[in-house]
Structure 1
Amino acid sequence: MIGCAISYLASILFSKWTLLAGILGYFAYKWSISTFDTFEKRGIKFIPPVPFVGNFKNLVFQKENFADAMKSFYNYFPTEKFYGLFELKQPTFLIRDPELIKQIGVKDFEYFLNHRGNIDENHEPLFGRNLVSLKGQRWRDMRSTLSPAFTGSKMRTMFQLVSECCNDTVNYLEKEVKDGKPLLTELKDIFTRFTNDVIATSAFGLKVDSLKDKDNEFYNYGKSATDFSGIKGLKFFLIIQAPKLAKLFNITLFTKEFSAFFRNLVWSTIRHREKENIVRPDMINLLIQARKGKLVHEQEDVDNEGFAVVKETNVGKAIHQNNLEEDDLTAQCLIFFLAGFDTSSTCMCFTGHELAANPDVQKTLLAEVDAIKEQLGGKPLTYEALQNMPYLDMVISESLRYWPPAIATDRQCVKPYNIKVDGKTLDIQVGEGLMIPIVGLHHDPKYFPNPSRFDPERFSEENKHNIVPFTYLPFGVGPRNCIGSRFALMETKAIIYYILTKFTFEVSEKTQIPLKLAKSGFAIKAENGFWVNLKPRT
């Protein structure tokens, strides 16, 4: 009798909990689809979403890498210039037409001043105050303050620091060679350590040798800070999309230890230099000048700096008074550190892989390298000589097309926007976001015939005029483009040149052709690493 009563009560409780779960599930479902009528109401085509994950199902469950997902989004309506998709439940406009990209990214930039995301800079100051995260007038002020630090003349003054790191890297590789045999190498490890050393010297005035001192503090902190997999990726998503929730649960992107290390690194260096009147051709020195208002804009000559270099716009050249606080400067150093540590090294990896996979391309590049080396007559590579290597620029430009470091770029609407496009109304409200699928444009046969072929000749003097404006965007578009494009190209070209003076990139038994991309995270990276043989030249 008692057993029956207990069983009866249990069934009632189970029924109540089941009912409650059903009710909660229903409301969660309704919440997840509450925005799914956004585009339908405006008569705009959209990719059909799935509850809770929108159009990100394959990404959430890691069935597809971000680059392939973005290509799929780009190709969903191949004749449309814009349409909608859903990042989870967030409605987002996908802009795929070059003329419309120009209109939004340049001509109507005032309507799309910001990147998306709402980072609470008081809770996450080192990330919230960097140039990428800043919004509105504060972004304008910071851009114009920093812009003079990234001109060609400033790159020229820092080139010797980069060149020394190139020398150290090649010397290390030569010592690793045994009996003249090819050296099996994982390029990501080599190039990440190289870029780490470049940043250490060119930004902070530190001499670091990450290839010999494998576990140096600077490298370990960089490795940790740029790893956005697993829990770190979830934290990043919450900080960007739900800053109030992140603050409530005290979720931060960087540990207190890392933040303290970085603040101390930047400010101990600045104070020491100011006290001792030390001047060095590096980023810290330029930031000291910027803080004092002594950096000025110079006439730019981008003709010989490379096809991919982006010009500074009038927004960056405007004069603004900017009183930089300690965390403002530290945040800029941090974003320079993060971008240089991972993004530049990834471009180097893909370039090395493609040279191994395309020996005809490498043969042509080797001839140019040898010619420049002979012209130098035993002297070190100069910034001017590097700019006088058109085929190297073509190879890097094609590498950036094929494997763009930024899969997509975004904007957030800051003023109501309404425009007619081929008779259709594009209506974007304040706070709504849009996405420009860079990788989709770069792999569209309409703009780049036979896009799956690695072909530097696309960027030759005879052919580059055929590239439709605003279809090639490795460093973004408009005033919000990448401020560090010159530096990234300079160090990438330099290390490729130095390696090719001593080695050739060869396919090894571990080289993956075609290269498969990792399905975790939003950064572009190889699934099983970038393995090649570095064959000593005789």
Structure 2
Amino acid sequence: MVSVDLFTTLCLGTIIVLVYHYLVKKYHYFLSKPIPCVKPTILVGTSGPLLFRKRDLATHMKVMYNAFPDAKIIGMYDLTSPIYMLRDPDMIKKLAMKDFDHFTDHGPYLTNGRTDDNAGGDSLFGNSLFAMRGQKWRDMRAALSPAFTGSRMRPIFELVTKCGRSMATFFKEEARAGRKLEYEIKDTFQRYGNDVIATVAFGIEVDSMRDYNNEFFEMATKMLSFSSWKMVPLMVIMRVLAALGQKTNMDFMDSKLSDHFKKMIRDNMKQREVNKIVRNDMINILMEVRNGSLKHQQDEQETKDAGFATVEESNVGKTTHSRKWTDNKLFAQCFLFFIAGFDTASTLMSFLAYELSVNPEIQERLHDEIRQTEDSLQSKPLSYEVLQKMQYLDQVVSEALRKWSPNMQLDRYCRKDYLYDDNAGTRFVIEQGHMVVIPVIAMHHDPQYFPEPERFDPERFSEENRSKINTGAYLPFGVGPRNCIGSRLALMEVKSIFYHLVRDFRLVLSEKTQIPLKMAKHPFALLVEGGLWVEFKPRSGINE
């Protein structure tokens, strides 16, 4: 009996030692590379502080970024997988733009077996433009690109600004009723974003401030639950055991909720086809994509008309294709717009409202520009063209995107071996299958590129100062052909609501907001513990 116990113990001990040495060897990858590496911890690599809620993602990215201040590229470990972090703006542009054919995709853990058309292809997230890979991504980008040009934004603008007017009117009604206008603004702007996406993407009019628990908002809240802490174990499995995730059809979305979402879009499309309804929204655009009738206007020129932060479309988005898209692929694009409009945009708007409330002089200067614009309109409604000409509003939004960029990092997957050469003596091969991370939030807070980075200063983006900005270090909407396709829509959504709110109200920080801000230790999102609370105080002489 003793011999069996001893044998078992020896076997277990041997297995433990072998596993330990296997893991240790996994962390030897960067020893053969001429670059510095952040020291990893067994099993969790350099991701431990995120997994164990010691840091929020923004802080973690800054710590990694600042570990080797003089390096252009460094090594890290996402659990047991070696990844590269690019720290140099010129090399970022080189890899993401000039040498894009080596880095065309996001990480493979975002996809699973449910993206295969032959297997049903019903994954909303896996089939989205963000998660698509290879030629499918190129074709979908080209198919959708004409929908997000300046000419397409103009007819959509009225739908967006109507939501902004409605929210401002609601606040005025509440003020006349004697109620205190104090709100947790992440929730408030999610409601606004919900209304915008409902009308722009789905042709559904909802009012989430008056109809507080409307079905569309409830569905959005449930769908966004995939960004909660409950999803961390699933994401770890899908990253470490990608093959298992594909074979078992793991997905970020609840299947019942996903089916309900797709049915809503399918019914909407069918109703329009039967009744020959045409509306300037995303459903109509996707129907054009399905029919192959959505094209770029030949005489349209790419401009920065929507603002400094706007990203330009690459040649990938201007190519032609003949692929026939399944309904599931089209539904997935609606889902992506839904998530971006509901959560990502509301994060930016929340922190912009916070900055205006703690910087009253900036808020008043913005109000002055809005009043001047109102006077020039002479009682005519705000138009897309007029909104885009508001210079200080664009500066304010651009600075909010710098300091509080919701897209805190970018990732690229190396599709084929790449010879990294910074022309300064560092030269080595990034092998196929490895990930490269671009630390957007850390670069936005690097004093080398943005002096006094913790100060909210819209003057960084004034006409006189714009030329000083290193565009490789300012990446709120990404970089290269895989940049954010909806930057114009996002900027329009943000600018429209702040035009109406700052015109009619003063934004004042509520005592419920903890100062200094204490960031929630979340692995994906920019969130504040206790929430961001702001009070809207009616200005004298506002339109009743």
The corresponding residue for 1:433 is 435
Q: What is the aligned counterpart of 2:94 among 100, 103, 106?
A: 103
SS of 1:159 mapped into structure 2:
helix
Instruction: State the Cα deviation string for residues 423-467 of structure 1 (Å, max 9, x = none).
Output: 111310111110010011101111101111000000000101000
The corresponding residue for 2:391 is 390
SS of 1:445 mapped into structure 2:
coil
Decide whether aligned partners of structure 1 residues 179 and 267 sit closer, same or farther in structure 2, where only a CA change above 3 A counts. closer
The corresponding residue for 2:492 is 490
CA distance in 1, matches of 2:20, 2:474: 40
Q: How many angstroms does 1:181 deviate by?
A: 6.9
Q: How many angstroms does 1:379 deviate by?
A: 2.6
The corresponding residue for 2:275 is 276
Contact 1:347 / 1:403 at 8 angstroms: preserved in 2? yes
SS of 2:304 mapped into structure 1:
coil
The corresponding residue for 1:410 is 411
The corresponding residue for 2:74 is 83
CA distance in 1, matches of 2:417, 2:124: 31
Instruction: State the Cα deviation string for residues 323-377 of structure 1 (Å, max 9, x = none).
Output: 1101010011111111111000111101000000111110110100111112222
SS of 2:125 mapped into structure 1:
helix
Instruction: State the Cα deviation string for residues 197-225 of structure 1 (Å, max 9, x = none).
Output: 11111001011111122222211121111
The corresponding residue for 2:185 is 187
Partner letter of residue 468 of structure 1? N
The corresponding residue for 1:6 is none
Q: How many angstroms does 1:515 deviate by?
A: 2.2
Contact 2:512 / 2:533 at 8 angstroms: preserved in 1? yes
CA distance in 1, matches of 2:3, 2:352: 65
CA distance in 1, matches of 2:436, 2:164: 39
The corresponding residue for 1:147 is 145
Instruction: Give the paired residue count.
Output: 529
The corresponding residue for 1:130 is 128
Q: What is the aligned counterpart of 2:194 among 193, 196, 218?
A: 196
Q: How many angstroms does 1:182 deviate by?
A: 5.1
Partner letter of residue 269 of structure 2? I
CA distance in 2, matches of 1:36, 1:527: 35
Matched, 1:369 2:370: yes
SS of 2:124 mapped into structure 1:
helix
Contact 1:184 / 1:508 at 8 angstroms: preserved in 2? yes
Aligned ranges 1:394-473 → 2 under 5 Å: 394-421=395-422, 422-473=424-475
Q: How many angstroms does 1:311 deviate by?
A: 0.4
Contact 1:517 / 1:526 at 8 angstroms: preserved in 2? yes
Aligned ranges 1:322-401 → 2 under 5 Å: 322-401=323-402
% of aligned pairs identical?
Answer: 43
CA distance in 2, matches of 1:20, 1:372: 78
Aligned ranges 1:173-184 → 2 under 5 Å: 173-177=171-175, 183-184=181-182
Instruction: State the Cα deviation string for residues 89-123 of structure 1 (Å, max 9, x = none).
Output: 11001101011001101000011111112411426
Instruction: State the Cα deviation string for residues 98-150 of structure 1 (Å, max 9, x = none).
Output: 11001101000011111112411426622211111111111110000000001
Instruction: State the Cα deviation string for residues 129-180 of structure 1 (Å, max 9, x = none).
Output: 1111111111110000000001111111101111111122112222223676
Q: How many angstroms does 1:505 deviate by?
A: 0.8
The corresponding residue for 1:66 is 57
Matched, 1:112 2:110: no
The corresponding residue for 1:478 is 480
**Range with greater deviation from structure 2 (31-40 or 368-377):** 31-40
CA distance in 2, matches of 1:260, 1:155: 29
Contact 1:70 / 1:440 at 8 angstroms: preserved in 2? yes
SS of 2:25 mapped into structure 1:
coil
Q: How many angstroms does 1:469 deviate by?
A: 2.3
Instruction: State the Cα deviation string for residues 71-99 of structure 1 (Å, max 9, x = none).
Output: 11111111111111111111001101011
CA distance in 1, matches of 2:83, 2:188: 38
CA distance in 1, matches of 2:310, 2:452: 24
Partner letter of residue 487 of structure 1? L
Q: How many angstroms does 1:15 deviate by?
A: 6.4
CA distance in 2, matches of 1:242, 1:339: 27
CA distance in 1, matches of 2:274, 2:9: 70
SS of 1:236 mapped into structure 2:
helix
Decide whether aligned partners of structure 1 residues 423 and 13 sit closer, same or farther in structure 2, where only a CA change above 3 A counts. same
The corresponding residue for 1:4 is none
Aligned ranges 1:167-246 → 2 under 5 Å: 167-177=165-175, 183-227=181-225, 228-246=227-245
Decide whether aligned partners of structure 1 residues 401 and 363 sit closer, same or farther in structure 2, where only a CA change above 3 A counts. same
Aligned ranges 1:256-267 → 2 under 5 Å: 256-267=255-266
CA distance in 1, matches of 2:329, 2:48: 37
TM, length-normalised to structure 1: 0.94
Partner letter of residue 137 of structure 1? Q
Decide whether aligned partners of structure 1 residues 103 and 453 sit closer, same or farther in structure 2, where only a CA change above 3 A counts. same
CA distance in 2, matches of 1:446, 1:109: 26
Aligned-CA RMSD value:
1.9
Contact 1:181 / 1:536 at 8 angstroms: preserved in 2? no
CA distance in 2, matches of 1:35, 1:241: 13
Q: How many angstroms does 1:22 deviate by?
A: 4.1
Matched, 1:505 2:507: yes
CA distance in 1, matches of 2:124, 2:493: 25
CA distance in 1, matches of 2:63, 2:372: 43
Q: How many angstroms does 1:295 deviate by?
A: 1.3
SS of 1:206 mapped into structure 2:
coil
SS of 1:506 mapped into structure 2:
strand
CA distance in 2, matches of 1:387, 1:67: 30
Decide whether aligned partners of structure 1 residues 241 and 175 sit closer, same or farther in structure 2, where only a CA change above 3 A counts. farther
SS of 1:177 mapped into structure 2:
helix
Q: Which segments of 5 or more consecutive residues in structure 1 lack a partner in the other structure? A: 1-8
Decide whether aligned partners of structure 1 residues 417 and 179 sit closer, same or farther in structure 2, where only a CA change above 3 A counts. same
TM, length-normalised to structure 2: 0.93
SS of 1:161 mapped into structure 2:
helix
CA distance in 2, matches of 1:180, 1:307: 40
SS of 1:185 mapped into structure 2:
strand
Partner letter of residue 366 of structure 1? H
The corresponding residue for 2:119 is none
Contact 1:355 / 1:505 at 8 angstroms: preserved in 2? yes
CA distance in 2, matches of 1:380, 1:16: 84
SS of 1:191 mapped into structure 2:
helix
Decide whether aligned partners of structure 1 residues 424 and 285 sit closer, same or farther in structure 2, where only a CA change above 3 A counts. same
**Range with greater deviation from structure 2 (508-517 or 355-364):** 508-517
Instruction: State the Cα deviation string for residues 382-432 of structure 1 (Å, max 9, x = none).
Output: 111111111000000000000111111010111111132211113101111
Partner letter of residue 283 of structure 1? M
Decide whether aligned partners of structure 1 residues 445 and 303 sit closer, same or farther in structure 2, where only a CA change above 3 A counts. same
Aligned ranges 1:239-318 → 2 under 5 Å: 239-249=238-248, 251-298=250-297, 299-318=300-319
Instruction: State the Cα deviation string for residues 32-85 of structure 1 (Å, max 9, x = none).
Output: 333211111123221111111111121111111100110111111111111111
CA distance in 2, matches of 1:99, 1:526: 33
Decide whether aligned partners of structure 1 residues 347 and 295 sit closer, same or farther in structure 2, where only a CA change above 3 A counts. same
Q: How many angstroms does 1:16 deviate by?
A: 6.7
**Range with greater deviation from structure 2 (207-216 or 87-96):** 207-216
Q: How many angstroms does 1:24 deviate by?
A: 4.5
Decide whether aligned partners of structure 1 residues 300 and 512 sit closer, same or farther in structure 2, where only a CA change above 3 A counts. farther
Partner letter of residue 292 of structure 2? G
Decide whether aligned partners of structure 1 residues 479 and 167 sit closer, same or farther in structure 2, where only a CA change above 3 A counts. same
